[in-house]
Amino acid sequence: MFGRMFGARRQPREAAKTPRVPAGRRIYAIGDIHGRADLLRTLHASIVADASAAPDLEPVVVYLGDYVDRGLDSRAVIDILLDAPLPGFEVVQLLGNHEAMMLNVLESGEDAFMWLHNGGNATVYSYGIPVPAGMRSEAEMEAIADRLREAVPAAHMTFLHQLRHSHVEGDYLFVHAGVRPGLPLEQQDPGDLIWIRDAFLDADIDFGKVVVHGHSISGQVDERANRIGIDTGAYASGCLTCLVLEGEQRRYLQT
């Protein structure tokens, strides 16, 4: 009774937890590269210089996918990633929807038209195969796919097959595109992890972890309470973005 009359004492609200990564680790997450080998080399140099200033920390680099298509040097991008250009780093390479489309064409020949007209033509060109302008027929598409199968090195196929769908570091989840709101993280559909867009981008709920993603281009880093988008349209803008996480700190490196 007295509590209601004078106002019951409320328990103090717990302060919002600040997301963090495990102690002793520094995470470098790189957004969509899309065939810009030149930008990747520049960003790698910046990352090496940045990590050298903290030799006691364990450096981890997470590539968020979409290495191929749109830019003209997709083959060179995969070669760079295969050459392990960041010595001493733990490396995590995720699958993007553009690698998934490329693999689908290489393995089944299906959806070649969609892929080629969504930037795949630049990837085909990077393997030394010209793509005629105005190509429309299924026969033309199949011929291109056949030539590409012969041109793609076995090491590149192995690289594509070994790409992962997600990675976790402390309070952060790294995926290419996003997650399906309302579903537990362990029940997410792999297709959503590489393709989802509006349902994820428009959600303002707590996903359980802060989701670091690419896939959806923004003019600058799109940092929200529940997600961080770092696809800054490198293939056209010249700005390739890397999110750096250490403890509770966030900062960015960009070309």
Of the two residues 203 and 13, the one the predictor is more confident about is 203
Residue 12's contacts (CB-CB under 8 Å, 6 or more residues apart) are none
CA-derived radius of gyration, the chain: 21
Supply the pLDDT for residue 109: 76
Q: How buried is residue 211: exposed, middle or buried, by Cβ count under 10 Å (0-12/13-18/19+)?
A: buried
Helix axes 74-82, 154-161, angle to 10 degrees: 80
Cα separation, 248 vs 254, in Å, equals: 20
Structure token pair of residue 185: 């993280």
For the cut 80, the answer to whether the pLDDT of residue 36 exceeds it is yes
Which of 60, 28, 95, 5 shows the shortest CA–CA distance to 254?
A: 28
The distance of Cα 39 from the centroid of its chain, to the nearest Å, equals 15
Q: What's the confidence (pLDDT) of residue 4?
A: 34
CA dist list (Å): 176 to 26, 138, 193? 20, 30, 6
- 174: number of Cβ within 10 Å: 27
Query: Largest Cα–Cα distance in the chain?
Result: 84
- Select from 233, 188, 230, 197 the least CA-distant residue to 212: 230
**Residue bearing tokens 């027929």:** 137
Mean pLDDT of the chain: 91
Position of tokens 């080629």? Answer: 116
* Kind and range of the H or E run holding 251: strand 249-254
Count CB-CB contacts under 10 A for residue 20: 16
Angle between the N-to-C axes of helices 37-52 and 74-82, in degrees from 0 to 180, rounded to the nearest 10: 30
Instruction: Work out the pLDDT band at 137, boundaries 50, 70, 90.
Output: confident
DSSP letter for each residue of 137-171: -HHHHHHHHHHHHHHS-HHHHHHHHT-BSEEEETT
Examine the pLDDT at 62 and tell me if it is beyond 70: yes
What pLDDT, in 10s, does the model give residues 174-218?
Answer: 999 999 999 999 999 999 999 999 999 999 999 999 999 999 999
Q: Is the pLDDT of residue 15 over 60?
A: no
Which one has a higher pLDDT value, 252 or 15? 252
Contacting residues for 173 by C-beta, under 8 A, at least 6 apart? 166, 167, 179, 185, 207, 208, 209, 210, 211, 212
pLDDT score recorded for residue 16? 66
What stretch of H or E contains 227? strand 227-229
Each residue's pLDDT tens digit, 89-113: 999 999 999 999 999 999 987 788 8
